[in-house]
Amino acid sequence: MITENHEFMNDVLILALESSCDETAVAVVKNGRDVLSNVIDSQIKLHSEYGGVVPEIASRKHIERISQVTEKALTEAQIKLKDITAIAVTYGPGLVGALLVGVSFAKAVSFASGIPLIGIHHIEGHISANYIENKDLRPPFVCLVVSGGHSHLVIVRDYGGYEVIGRTRDDAAGEAFDKIARALGLGYPGGPAIDSVSREGNPEAICFPRGKVDGAEFDFSFSGLKSAVINTMNSSRMKGEEVKVADVAASFQRAVVDVLVERSMEAVRRYGFPAFAIAGGVAANTSLREAFQAACEKERVAFYHPSSGLCTDNAAMIGVAGYHEFRKGVRSGYDLNAVADLKIGMR
């Protein structure tokens, strides 16, 4: 049993919930940087049987798990619900049925307890993950957000103040990793599989195209690259040649990394901020991190990234974003709804 805790009386304690895709995640975050608990109930095994996330299964699993995961997060943090300052919940973008579980649960807990509710943008959460382990990181900085659903170049002007300067025109970077991994028979999720198999391959074996978007220097396009990889594999198979999976994976990965680094460094030079950060699931990629480390050293800007576990979906990042929204006075009403295609910077 947890006893009454006066220690936290002047602290801002955020109970954060994240259910936008295939992780049921709940965390308790203190004063925007200290993670007291971060529980992630992953459904990856369930979905890997189908080669990708099945939305209906994701929603059902969130419903089954969200109460227990919340209890576990409070217990691990040694915090009682009544000591929580605000409840932060991801309300978009993501799978609408999955988001609705977290949003409905958060609204119910908020209504029953009287604790204020704050709806959080998932991408704002990913960016905020950088504040957890990098205690010296402060806006302004340029941030590249690369996940399964998003590839955005963002200017972080202030805590919670964003300007999107570039985005993907087609596939997100993580989506490209997942699709190519499936084509190579590496399973789901594809990013970690390609990351690991690429270590055995030659990134210069095949020169895949580095997509550019005319007239939009900070935008990305990965569909041409994806088609080129699939065409290369098909033509090798038709000629009866062996497809060297590690070489294809490493060459594909190199092409993605090159494009992301080139566009990002262009933004770093243009805006002149002293720091650059990456966020989102793809930010866990080893080769991407190494390339950014080198590029940032060359540009003489500080390079920040969350540790791998905080790059992929989690609720601690939502708690950090929730803290900053709370400090700005943002509160959501009980009409808060899940918004599958929520744009960054919108409320």
Assess 306 for contact with ligand KG4 (CB under 6 A).
no
* The one segment of 76-84, 128-136, 143-151, 163-171 that binds Zn ion by CB under 5 A: 143-151
CA 287, CA 277: separation in Å to the nearest integer?
15
In angstroms, give the least distance from the CB of 189 to ligand KG4: 4
| Binding span for Zn ion by CB under 5 A among 42-50, 140-148, 176-184, 258-266 | 140-148
Among the listed residues 43, 313, 316, 338, the single contact to Zn ion using CB under 5 A? 313
Contacts for 102 with CB less than 8 Å, ≥ 6 apart: 17, 18, 19, 20, 62, 66, 89, 90, 91
Q: Which of 147, 221, 253, 332 is in the footprint of Zn ion by CB under 5 A?
A: 147
For ligand KG4, the binding residues in 16-55 under the rule CB under 6 A are: 21
* Residue 125 within binding range of ligand KG4, rule CB under 6 A: no
Please give the angle made by the CA atoms of 166, 171 and 176, to the nearest 5 degrees.
120
Span of 99-107, 145-153, 198-206, 259-267 interacting with Zn ion by CB under 5 A? 145-153
Rounded CA gap, 71 and 276, in Å? Answer: 36
**Kindly report the CA angle at 211 between 206 and 216, in degrees rounded to 5?**
160
Q: State phi, psi for 333 to the nearest 5 degrees.
A: -90, 175
Q: Are 301 and 12 in contact (CB under 8 A)?
A: no
Residue 285 contacts which entry, Zn ion, ligand KG4, none (Cβ below 5-8 A, type-dependent): ligand KG4
The listed partner (Zn ion, ligand KG4, none) that binds 177, CB under 5 to 8 Å by sort, is: ligand KG4
Which of 38, 128, 147, 332 binds ligand KG4 (CB under 6 A)? It is: 147
Say which entry of Zn ion, ligand KG4, none residue 125 contacts (CB below 5 to 8 A, set by partner kind).
none
Cα dihedral sign, 21-345-260-288: negative
Query: Is residue 282 part of the contact set for ligand KG4 (CB under 6 A)?
Result: yes
Furthest C-alpha separation in the chain: 72
Residue 251 CB, shortest distance to ligand KG4, in Å, is 15
In the complex, least distance from residue 163 CB atom to ligand KG4, rounded to whole angstroms: 20
Cis peptide bond N-terminal to 209, omega within 30: no
H-type alpha helices, the chain: 44-48, 55-77, 96-113, 122-128, 130-133, 173-183, 190-198, 223-238, 245-271, 286-299, 308-311, 316-327
- Piece of 31-39, 74-82, 190-198, 231-239 that binds ligand KG4 (CB under 6 A): 190-198
Interface positions with ligand KG4 (CB under 6 A): 21, 147-149, 174, 177-178, 189-192, 195, 280-282, 284-285, 312-313
Interface positions with Zn ion (CB under 5 A): 147, 313
